[in-house]
Amino acid sequence: MHTTFPKLMLEHAARRPQAPALREKEYGIWQTTTWAELATLVRHLAGGLAQAGLRRGQHLVVVGENRPRLYATMLAAQSLGAIPVPLYQDAVAAEFVFPLNNAEVGFAVVEDQEQVDKLLEIRAQCPQLARIWFDDPRGLRNYREPGLDSLDALIEAGRAFDAQHPGFFQSEVDKARPEDVAAMFFTSGTTGNPKGVVHTHHALIDRALAGAKFDRLTEREEVLAYLPPAWIGQNCFSYAQWLVCGYVVNCPESASTVMIDLKEIGPTYYFAPPRIFEGLLTNVMIRMEDAGRFKRWLFHHFMAVARRVGPARMDGKPLSLTQRLAYALGDLLIYGPLRNNLGMSRIRVAYTAGEAIGPDLFTFYRSIGINLKQLYGSTETAVFVCLQPDHEVKADTVGVPIEGVEIKLDANGEILIRSPGLLKEYYKNPQATAEVKTADGWYRSGDAGFLDASGHLKIIDRAKDVGRMADGSMFAPKYIENKLKFFPHIKEAVAFGDKRDKVCAFINIDFEAVGNWAEKRNLPYAGYTDLAGKPEVYELIRECVQKVNADLAQDEKLAGSQISRFLILHKELDADDGELTRTRKVRRGYIADKYAILVDALYSGKTSQYIETQVKFEDGRTGVVCAELRIVDTQTYPPVKRAA
């Protein structure tokens, strides 16, 4: 498709001007922006930005939740040939310094007072940051900072500029070419500084179009945009594919109202990382524990029917009359009301990605009639590499290469990808670019995996993380961690074992799920640290770990990496403390260094270890969490011998 994002927007505005483009919930009421209104808003924002001095090739930072006027700002920047750079709205101020200086950012558009305060805090470290505009004026009335103004003022300036230069906007849009840079996304930076991933209009639009064709997306889809706009996954689903297909993107009122808004909108096309699906299921199971005996029996009876019949039904396989009738009754009494309660009654296609999803979790959603599928991609590949076709969905693979994608494996099992959606470069980092892009156009994904007999891709782990135990057996930490996280009582896990004689692990409990479990058993606790240290909780987690060990024993390659010892951390791993990335990926190396005393205790045979840890609170204050952590041994199992 030889076009750009602003041209796609103008095509929708010309062809279907009164159709809804965006909705935003404000004060409990959904407000609609039509394609014609969006085109006018983008035109005025572009005029205001041009008058302020934004030029072709320059970068504009955008920080905030999903908001129609922030989407319009990105389109306005692209209309001028400038490059929007979305940053994570939950990042602390210090995390903005590197991207702002690396991209030489002079202009920023942010959502509200919180983001304004962050930029003002670091302004002395980013001297080129001249102008900041805010969308939501609440709390900002008495701010008198040079270069700080409202988005309303920018729009008014742009309206006047447009009246004086009526041909300017269209002439700027016409200058753009598909091979021009459309956006830059900073990686989460699991090691070192984040890297700016540069993508062209052609790369993003081509992959958005390929994904839309694959699942037959149309302008009639409804999407809820609730994940960070700085994450390329959210950008592809609610920006690139939105402009390719012309469907409606709905922006929730706030993070706390997402579930209510999900039920009100009833999206037809939905995306969420596994942790969201895990959280939803955990809430369902907690509520079922509170239900009466008959309701619990009814739920478990029909869920057993769903597990037997649902996946085959979803895959289009023939069912007997008895199976069809049993499932129909379950749908009337349990599955239909449950889908409605989750806000998923109208979902035609749902995707998950970013981390592996547990087979039980995956099967649960498919068994109750939700077409949940997995995809594979990354920031550098514009997301869409492999997708799961309808009726060919497997819990342990991530689908088949879609149109335009080639995949091959190198000698050590690393997945190499060739696709129209590959990054143009890492910004100002030719060495890093050369490390991931070969001379003949292949991208080194960093993931280890293989294609199965039916052409589906199976991911094992990050290639650099796949190690060897002291006895030479394979150690795949992420694979083990994901198996642990499949249990609703475990929120995060960190596995250690490379070049060691056994595998040990740190565990973070899920405070809500374990708290509910404890309350049912009249087990008092005074907070996360107290609950995590309870002997009863250790026994609960030990059972989960031993189930993982039994599962690993079934795998010839991974039977040697069963978990021998574990401890439950005294605090939750947190991005603000540097332990997780903003996309909630574990920074394993950082954690190993920070908690070296705990790692040593696990491997030296100790039964407990005292630790003090500095933590950062939401209001910026710091404090210390201290505890004597128990260390427990777990049962491991002999490898299961497969019949020849």
Q: Of all helices (H) and strands (E), which one includes residue 257?
A: none
Rounded CA separation 198/183 (Å): 6
Rounded CA separation 531/571 (Å): 11
User: Quick check: 390 pLDDT over 90?
Assistant: yes
Q: Are residues 146 and 193 in the same domain?
A: yes
Q: Is residue 431 part of a domain?
A: no
pLDDT single digits (tens) 448-484: 888 888 899 988 777 777 888 998 888 889 889 988 9
Query: Sign (positive/negative) of CA torsion 201, 204, 207, 212?
Result: negative
Coil, strand or helix at 398? coil
What CATH number does the domain containing 555 carry? 3.30.300.30
Count of domains for the chain: 3
Q: Are residues 527 and 383 in the same domain?
A: no
Across residues 342-358, what is the average pLDDT? 88
Q: Are residues 507 and 382 in the same domain?
A: no
User: Quick check: 640 pLDDT over 50?
Assistant: yes
Q: Is residue 639 part of a domain?
A: no
616: confidence class by pLDDT, cuts 50, 70, 90: confident
**Angle of helix 168-175 versus helix 35-52 axis, rounded to 10:** 90
Q: What is the pLDDT of residue 554?
A: 87
For the chain, counts of helices (H) and of strands (E): 23, 28
Q: Are residues 296 and 407 in the same domain?
A: yes
Q: Is residue 394 part of a domain?
A: no
Nearest by Cα to 570 from 523, 489, 488, 507: 507
Would the pTM count as exceeding 0.75?
yes
Q: Is residue 396 part of a domain?
A: no
Q: Of all helices (H) and strands (E), which one includes residue 80?
A: none
Q: Is residue 643 part of a domain?
A: no
Q: Is residue 427 part of a domain?
A: no
What CATH number does the domain containing 95 carry? 3.40.50.12780
644: confidence class by pLDDT, cuts 50, 70, 90: very low
Q: Which of 271, 288, 308 corresponds to the end of one domain?
A: 271
Q: Which of 250, 271, 292 corresponds to the end of one domain?
A: 271
Coil, strand or helix at 60? strand
User: Quick check: 48 pLDDT over 50?
Assistant: yes
Q: Are residues 114 and 148 in the same domain?
A: yes
Question: Are 250 and 222 spatial neighbours (Cβ–Cβ below 8 Å)?
Answer: yes
Across residues 315-341, what is the average pLDDT? 95
**Angle of helix 35-52 versus helix 68-79 axis, rounded to 10:** 60
- The percent of residues above 70 in pLDDT, for the chain, comes to 98
Rounded CA separation 185/188 (Å): 9
User: Quick check: 583 pLDDT over 80?
Assistant: no
Region of poorest pLDDT, from 173-182, 358-367, 511-520: 358-367
Q: Are residues 94 and 128 in the same domain?
A: yes
Rounded CA separation 374/379 (Å): 16
Question: Are 197 and 87 spatial neighbours (Cβ–Cβ below 8 Å)?
Answer: no
The DSSP letter of residue 415 is: E
Q: Of all helices (H) and strands (E), which one includes residue 537?
A: helix 535-552
Question: Are 636 and 565 spatial neighbours (Cβ–Cβ below 8 Å)?
Answer: no
pLDDT single digits (tens) 214-262: 999 999 999 999 999 999 999 999 999 999 999 999 999 998 899 899 9
Q: Is residue 99 part of a domain?
A: yes
User: Quick check: 303 pLDDT over 80?
Assistant: yes
353: confidence class by pLDDT, cuts 50, 70, 90: confident
CA distances from 218 to 15, 512, 587 (A): 15, 38, 39
- Domain containing 130 equals 5-271
Q: Are residues 530 and 455 in the same domain?
A: no
Q: What is the pLDDT of residue 346?
A: 96
pLDDT single digits (tens) 137-177: 999 999 999 999 999 999 999 999 999 999 999 999 999 99
Q: Are residues 304 and 251 in the same domain?
A: no
Q: Is residue 507 part of a domain?
A: yes
The number of beta carbons lying within 10 Å of the beta carbon of residue 405 is 21
Q: What is the pLDDT of residue 189?
A: 61
Q: Are residues 252 and 350 in the same domain?
A: no
Q: Are residues 53 and 85 in the same domain?
A: yes
Question: Are 638 and 584 spatial neighbours (Cβ–Cβ below 8 Å)?
Answer: no
Q: Are residues 242 and 307 in the same domain?
A: no
Q: Are residues 506 and 406 in the same domain?
A: no
Q: Which of 231, 255, 271 corresponds to the end of one domain?
A: 271
